[in-house]
Structure 1
Amino acid sequence: MSELVTLQTYLGTWAGSDAARKAVAETVTAIAEAGIGIAELVARGPLEEGLARIRGTDPNAGGDAQKELDVVAEERIRAALLPTPAAFLASEESEELIPLNPRGRLVVAVDPLDGSSNIDTNVSVGTIYSILPYDPAVHADPVSAVMRPGVNQVAAGFLAYGPATILVATFGEGTQVFVHDRRSGDFVLARAAVEIPVETKEYGVNQSNARQWHAPMRRYVEDCLAGKEGPRGKDFNMRWVGSMVADAFRIFTRGGVYVYPGDKRKGYENGRLRLIYEANPVAFLVEQANGGATDGTTRILDITPHHIHQRIPLVFGSKAEVEKIASYY
């Protein structure tokens, strides 16, 4: 039996004696450790009284209803990052950047609890993170360190809190999957150098919104539904959880394509997912796993944000299918 590789072993090998890499490794370790605590809270479900309750009447900084668990998750991550080389935390739950280590040289962007609207139904939820370099001599305004195209990320990943607690991570050298071993307390490498199949017969989209879609998306899904008899010449399955980390992990496991388009509804013109907190880190992970990620036509990692909480349509997964969707526009 081959020796198990823990997250700490993997990070130590990857970082070596490089100071910048060591800083990233320390930051990812802190996020992973915070995730273990968040997973425990999520697992207790309704036993943790009030955590699934909507917090007040005002939405969070991203415009979504905010639950108590969103706030607790953000606080867990903030506390874990305080002693790390992270200078600031950008969070979907907060309007402004949160200061951390004044000597830090990294900025972390995070969705503390993606899919929290599903928490009452016991669906997998998760934490998504993105790490960018920060140099105060270059970025006089720390926000400018975050407002850069996703190609500038040095690491990204997400934790999925489901039957197992999973960490999907990239440091720009492939995408790796780690599983939290509850016996040892370690994250253990389960799949190295993940590759998303190029072709697929599976797509994920909330089809209840079809009447609101623009013509290219309607045509794409109609052609999928037509199956072997239609222009695609093959039958498709549709899968949709509604929690992006769960849908994403399925794609890393068996391929497929995830689609969250903009539509005609007020507030949905650019979809509902955030470029900085969700689209960029997932796009980095997907591309490192031989997949593709666009806003329908443009590569996600090439897009310059114009607002810290900017929303964007998102298509990601099997590369050939992502390219096929772009051909409809």
Structure 2
Amino acid sequence: MDQRLDQRPTLHVHLAASPSAQESGAACAAIVAALAGAARSLAGVISAGPLGPVMEDAGSINSDGDVQKELDLVADQMMRRALHKVPVAGLLSEEGKSPEVVDAGAPFCVAIDPLDGSANLQNNISVGTIFSIRPRGRDVLSSFFEPGTAQCAAGFFIYGPQTCLVLALDRRVDLFVLHPATAEFVLARRGLRIPQDTAEFAINASNRRHWNGAVRNYMDECLMGAPGPRGADFNMRWIASLVAEAYRILMRGGLFLYPADARPGYREGRLRLVYEAHPMALIMEWAGGAASNGRTRILELSARSPHQRAPLIMGDARAVRDFDMLSEGIEPLFESGDAPLFARRGLFR
């Protein structure tokens, strides 16, 4: 084992030294530590793959209409047990219909997607756990309907070739890796910054016929390559795992797009605002990037319902800004990007 890895601070040491000025900073650290413990256990279950007992469909649908795998329910139970042991006022999980009041007097509320991307497990693609930590408001339930700017911390665990934690805390984004020998999360990189001007985008191009004009125009300009208005030959990446897409952006740069489109069920976007888009937006901004719904900064949005969906455009700050500029003046849905009004429109012409 590399001795340099053994000399790096553990997550517990890092949290103990957090410069957070909040009086309740210790409670926030306890929540992160509890989630890390549950993630460590969950990583072991996931690593068994088809040898394990929990990879099949559970035969149920969650409150948001998605088919649940048994492992979705196991992950939810593991995260809930961990969070019930620390100062959490309220808990909102993708697998629950409504927020749960845990300890109404505790200082923080947690919104969580216990197992993001579980449909990818059969393909051995990275999956993850996404979480958002925010102060308790005037009451527990209303805390989840505050804008994303209310978050004091956020992060995600990614279960892949390495089990990692990307943590946004104290206005900085740090990377921790689960040490294979000690089973501790250790600090691998401090102060992540998104690489700028990477000619790379991620989108499900099979949905092009459903996109609005702004999305089509942006993609068309990218696909024109170096001779086109963007002056670069772009690569496309699409993993269909939000945590894996976010991790790649933090390491390589580029842009991720999951826009609203004209399909039933996608007209307000597909990702959940409170426990997917909000925490990802905080991570992106604190790493020097940006996140929007195509028009508005994600962190300025407030949910109207616990599982509200939203479009998400995130990554390189300049690329997000360029996309938002293309969206100005175009109706969100149903206009044709091939119609004369929009066919010639672009950021540079």
TM-score bracket, shorter-length normalisation: over 0.9
Q: What amino acid maps onto 2:175 in structure 1? A: V
Establish whether residue 311 from structure 1 lines up as the match of residue 314 from structure 2. no
Q: CA deviation at 1:152?
A: 0.4
Counterpart pick for 2:98 among 93, 96, 99: 96
Distance of 2:64 and 2:227 partners within structure 1: 42
Counterpart pick for 1:34 among 21, 33, 38: 38
SS of the aligned residue for 1:56 comes to strand
Specify the alignment match of 1:56 in structure 2. Answer: 59
C-alpha root-mean-square deviation of aligned residues, in Å? 1.4
Specify the alignment match of 1:301 in structure 2. Answer: 299
CA contact (8 A) 1:84 1:101 kept: no
Distance 1:16 1:174, change over 3 A: closer
Q: CA deviation at 1:198?
A: 2.9
- Counterparts in 2 of 1:154-303, with a 5 A limit? 154-303=152-301
Distance of 1:247 and 1:229 partners within structure 2: 27
TM-score, normalization: structure 1? Answer: 0.95
Distance of 2:229 and 2:69 partners within structure 1: 44
Specify the alignment match of 1:144 in structure 2. Answer: 142
Q: CA deviation at 1:327?
A: 1.5
SS of the aligned residue for 1:33 comes to helix
Specify the alignment match of 2:8 in structure 1. Answer: 4
CA contact (8 A) 1:273 1:313 kept: yes
Specify the alignment match of 1:77 in structure 2. Answer: 79
Distance of 2:104 and 2:320 partners within structure 1: 41
CA contact (8 A) 1:199 1:319 kept: no
SS of the aligned residue for 1:228 comes to coil
Counterpart pick for 2:114 among 112, 115, 121: 112
Query: What are structure 1's unaligned runs of at least 5 residues?
Result: none
Q: CA deviation at 1:252?
A: 0.5
Establish whether residue 125 from structure 1 lines up as the match of residue 123 from structure 2. no
TM-score, normalization: structure 2? Answer: 0.90
Q: Which has the larger radius of gyration?
A: 2
Q: What amino acid maps onto 1:182 in structure 2? A: P
Distance 1:39 1:212, change over 3 A: same
Query: What are structure 2's unaligned runs of at least 5 residues?
Result: 328-349
CA contact (8 A) 2:90 2:141 kept: no
SS of the aligned residue for 1:5 comes to coil
* Identity within the alignment, %: 42
Q: What amino acid maps onto 2:18 in structure 1? A: W
Runs of 4+ in 1 over 4 A off after TM superposition: 15-18
Distance of 2:298 and 2:105 partners within structure 1: 30
Q: What amino acid maps onto 1:322 in structure 2? A: V
CA contact (8 A) 1:114 1:244 kept: yes
Distance of 1:209 and 1:52 partners within structure 2: 28
